[in-house]
Structure 1
């Protein structure tokens, strides 16, 4: 058989069950071979959307995913999504057809593109080695948690494979190794107010961290990307950083020991470093030595797997400690720990005639949180609005929240939620978008309808790129370049096949209740006309510049 078919077969045999993409002549045969071998192909309307779908699918529990693109322009269309995946250490294999003739219209330096965004370039070099090279790309993606760009020259794909065998089952992951527990053990035994901050590298290790926290009296927080890891725990602070509630910020700032578990402790998670007391000791646990001290030079490092290290420290502990925990603090966390428990003045507005005009995004999101089923998977786009769904919409666990923000691109939220929905099919998918990101990624509304996803798409519409409005507006700059006339986004949704409703006041949210009670035969788009105000997290971020 041709190399393209053999490679498609080995990719599926190596454990890839979903491939996302846009098919052209260069990736036609390998994609069809994967489908024939049992993988599901998800066709996107744009390669950028396909890349983000694959990224989100892998992040929310779908395993290693594949992205299939045409040579040259197909790959360049996908580069923003690939950059996001690479920066997030998502296990993803990008199957990119490749031309090797410099005079071809499709020629670009595809290796250089991969390196430029932090992906790992690989290549099918011959018919004799292609199957092994494809298998190695999957192994690197899975075991190294890397985004691998597998370049597939057209002439190699068309050659006859010299040896075609069914691949063995995917190799077992290596046993995680614990780091030396000595430094962390000593720090925990001396700490009176310890706080754990778990990041992307701690996903899956939640129970181990909870047991160690219970023994040491630590409070539990996460970075935004790991939100949901400690849902239901009475000592959970939810998200550390710009999205922190006032109580969370107070408690983290009061800690005498902050332990980052698979967490970079970067400017966003630590509010440009101001969230940690200068007197606090900082320890990082990470299996990547380069992550230690990257954002906190004074941090002490423990190189090892998060879960294994937590178990090793727990086994070496001498007794248990009350630490930061007390009955009074537990009561405070229960009554004021969530953002929705913090009092606020509703800023919703009405017209001169008294009709609802614009709804406060906090009021909107709290109302949606009360209506939407608890078993949900929430995808959030980037923008001024994004703190509201990230802080006010509850999620069931760390696989119920997908936050593609490593590259901070707007326009990824809808595709994010599609990928997450396919990885968590038993949950209601909820996409939270700004109007700018919604229009940027609107082509994938058709994908939602075509796939039959019962998705709720909530557009926080302030008719602007709100971050720029609130960053530059107070200084008196003209804002014509970042503000837009009103758009009927509900009508756009209906045009793609959605049910849709426009929300201007709290009573309008009742239409969401009606949709939830119905057959949900079509997805729902909520065009929420929100008040325009700088969000608290954005004000915090701008203070760092």
Structure 2
């Protein structure tokens, strides 16, 4: 950052200080809902409309999910602003999702009057220890108690989100501080510093990888900014690249070297060295099994992650791109002569693709139709629904950040509003949202937001009238004790039309492909209802059993 340290020439409000600080840090869009505690922040937004736009939603959770979608699909900070108390609490699920996915989401909220805080008067939107709640959902949370403090807390929040492991941050400002006028110094510069990789560990990693007969690369969201380095390492080692939810598309999944996760589990059985780049390696080490013959190299910016599940053979504290490039530089003098394994990996992929069809044929038929309809530069946002589950392994992703998921949080109902944030961030790109009827109704009111802001998101709703997984478990695991897992749906076509969006219906994969293509061409907010029955259980496909060690 390069702002001058001199103070403003005249007093400004705390709200204007906040807007100045946000724009100085590159924020040009905020998702938000106004309210009395934020009046003077939104006044400042209004007065700086040529510098920063505000996209409102129909519910606070919508604003936060949209910020999450913005952050995940761009790698930049997604910001939202909501009132304190019930407003910020309504965004808790989105904040926890951002935390689980290491997303740079900035939550802005107000507070009651400074003099009333902590006194329990029962002021509008007052809750006990709001800042303490935010501290438990974010990497960094702070309060500004005077307009002059606003630039500093904003800079601290951005430093926290960009240094070490990225995670959300939250700031609260009391309503009287947002109104108060004072002389305010601009944002002070901040410098992003990552730890330097230990050269001895880099050399040891290169030596171990160079001697490996069956090396393997696991990538997560931390590898999104190391795409070229990961691809080069895969080529140098003739090693497959595997990811599960976050990390998809780091290597184009049309490549034979991009193995779907279950195929990776089979290869794991003979793997001798695995390098995890910007990922936890949690399902692999905790579910696929380990033994003394498997050597683990782990690159991560979070030192606690390096030893959380198990101590690796080599743990490198560094950002993914820098460390991977350093290993590439050190590798040639250690690397073995290697022949192409493209045919071998292509055959392994084909075998598992057939397995996906054999077990989850209905889901795969829809996913292949959707993949054909979504252009190469399009974004895909999943949901916790039968087709969405199988998309984790059965929907090829062509580039980094082009598939957005809630990661291990499993946030049912996050998808539609999140996809609106992705569309806002990429207004000229096609964005596809895949939903079940249960999850879609969590944020279906945001169809109004899509229409209001002209966001041409195409959303597919697979409608079976039930929370499908819960219903299946109640039937199969709990002696048919079916309770609270079925529901009554609206006509989704009419629902879309009532909001002013396009409503469509498709009953087959072939019809769905046509409808999605037409919807993208129309460039209008669109809901496509797909009536479906009960689908095959997906877990045998997406959760392979242990392939080594104690099975």
Cα–Cα, structure 1 residues 130 and 485, in superposed 2: closer, same or farther, change >3 Å? closer
In the alignment, structure 1 residue 365 sits paired with structure 2 residue 367: yes
Cα–Cα, structure 1 residues 255 and 147, in superposed 2: closer, same or farther, change >3 Å? same
1:494 aligns with 497
> What SS does the aligned partner of 1:27 have?
helix
- State the distance in 2 between where 1:460 and 1:275 align: 35
Paired residues for 1:294-333 under 5 Å: 294-297=308-311, 300-317=314-331, 318=333, 320-321=335-336, 325-326=340-341, 328-332=343-347
Structure 1 unpaired stretches of 5+: 348-359
Work out whether residues 75 and 104 of structure 2, in 8 Å CA contact, stay in contact via their aligned partners in 1: no
- State the distance in 2 between where 1:82 and 1:331 align: 39
2:454 aligns with 452
1:484 aligns with 487
2:157 aligns with 137
Work out whether residues 225 and 320 of structure 2, in 8 Å CA contact, stay in contact via their aligned partners in 1: no
Cα–Cα, structure 1 residues 320 and 31, in superposed 2: closer, same or farther, change >3 Å? farther
Cα–Cα, structure 1 residues 405 and 326, in superposed 2: closer, same or farther, change >3 Å? closer
2:530 aligns with 528
Deviation at 1:160, TM superposition (A): 1.6
Instruction: After superposition, give the CA deviation of every residue in 1:316-375 in whole Å (9 maximum; x if it has no partner).
Output: 2215435695253144257456x378543786xxxxxxxxxxxx2322222222223222
In the alignment, structure 1 residue 80 sits paired with structure 2 residue 96: no
2:398 aligns with 396
Deviation at 1:301, TM superposition (A): 1.5
Deviation at 1:297, TM superposition (A): 4.5
Cα–Cα, structure 1 residues 340 and 158, in superposed 2: closer, same or farther, change >3 Å? farther
Deviation at 1:486, TM superposition (A): 5.1
In the alignment, structure 1 residue 41 sits paired with structure 2 residue 54: yes
**Which stretches of structure 1, 4 residues or more, deviate above 4 A after TM superposition?**
275-278, 322-325, 333-337, 340-343, 538-544
Cα–Cα, structure 1 residues 416 and 217, in superposed 2: closer, same or farther, change >3 Å? same
Instruction: After superposition, give the CA deviation of every residue in 1:83-125 in whole Å (9 maximum; x if it has no partner).
Output: 1112222222211101225211321211221133244221102
Deviation at 1:266, TM superposition (A): 1.4
Deviation at 1:281, TM superposition (A): 1.7
1:9 aligns with 20
1:66 aligns with 79
Instruction: After superposition, give the CA deviation of every residue in 1:507-532 in whole Å (9 maximum; x if it has no partner).
Output: 53365166247533x32212112231
1:426 aligns with 428
Deviation at 1:430, TM superposition (A): 0.3
> What SS does the aligned partner of 1:302 have?
strand
In the alignment, structure 1 residue 155 sits paired with structure 2 residue 176: yes
- Give the TM-score normalised by structure 2: 0.87
Deviation at 1:134, TM superposition (A): 2.4
Paired residues for 1:241-320 under 5 Å: 244=262, 247-267=263-283, 270=284, 272-274=286-288, 279-297=293-311, 300-317=314-331, 318=333, 320=335
* Aligned with 2:29 (options 18, 23, 28): 18
Cα–Cα, structure 1 residues 95 and 328, in superposed 2: closer, same or farther, change >3 Å? closer
> What SS does the aligned partner of 1:535 have?
coil
2:5 aligns with none
Q: Over aligned residue pairs, what C-alpha RMSD do you find?
A: 2.7
Deviation at 1:187, TM superposition (A): 2.0
- State the distance in 2 between where 1:41 and 1:438 align: 24
- State the distance in 2 between where 1:152 and 1:529 align: 47
> What SS does the aligned partner of 1:225 have?
coil
Cα–Cα, structure 1 residues 344 and 406, in superposed 2: closer, same or farther, change >3 Å? closer
- State the distance in 2 between where 1:81 and 1:343 align: 33
Deviation at 1:209, TM superposition (A): 1.4
Work out whether residues 244 and 393 of structure 2, in 8 Å CA contact, stay in contact via their aligned partners in 1: no
> What SS does the aligned partner of 2:447 have?
helix
> What SS does the aligned partner of 2:288 have?
coil
- State the distance in 2 between where 1:271 and 1:290 align: 16
Greater RCO, 1 or 2 (C-alpha within 8 Å, sep 6+): 2
Work out whether residues 287 and 545 of structure 2, in 8 Å CA contact, stay in contact via their aligned partners in 1: no
> What SS does the aligned partner of 2:375 have?
coil
Deviation at 1:381, TM superposition (A): 1.6
2:39 aligns with 28
Work out whether residues 194 and 319 of structure 2, in 8 Å CA contact, stay in contact via their aligned partners in 1: no
Deviation at 1:436, TM superposition (A): 0.7
> What SS does the aligned partner of 1:8 have?
helix
- State the distance in 1 between where 2:357 and 2:147 align: 66
2:220 aligns with 199
1:114 aligns with 134
* Aligned with 1:53 (options 61, 66, 70): 66
Work out whether residues 231 and 397 of structure 1, in 8 Å CA contact, stay in contact via their aligned partners in 2: yes
Cα–Cα, structure 1 residues 35 and 177, in superposed 2: closer, same or farther, change >3 Å? farther
Work out whether residues 31 and 68 of structure 1, in 8 Å CA contact, stay in contact via their aligned partners in 2: no
Paired residues for 1:454-473 under 5 Å: 454-473=456-475
> What SS does the aligned partner of 2:213 have?
coil
Cα–Cα, structure 1 residues 539 and 346, in superposed 2: closer, same or farther, change >3 Å? closer
Deviation at 1:441, TM superposition (A): 1.1
- State the distance in 1 between where 2:342 and 2:542 align: 31
In the alignment, structure 1 residue 125 sits paired with structure 2 residue 127: no
Instruction: After superposition, give the CA deviation of every residue in 1:385-408 in whole Å (9 maximum; x if it has no partner).
Output: 422333343333112111123421
Instruction: After superposition, give the CA deviation of every residue in 1:415-435 in whole Å (9 maximum; x if it has no partner).
Output: 111111122223201001111
2:250 aligns with 229
Work out whether residues 292 and 300 of structure 1, in 8 Å CA contact, stay in contact via their aligned partners in 2: no
Work out whether residues 377 and 424 of structure 1, in 8 Å CA contact, stay in contact via their aligned partners in 2: no
Deviation at 1:30, TM superposition (A): 1.7
Count the aligned residue pairs: 521
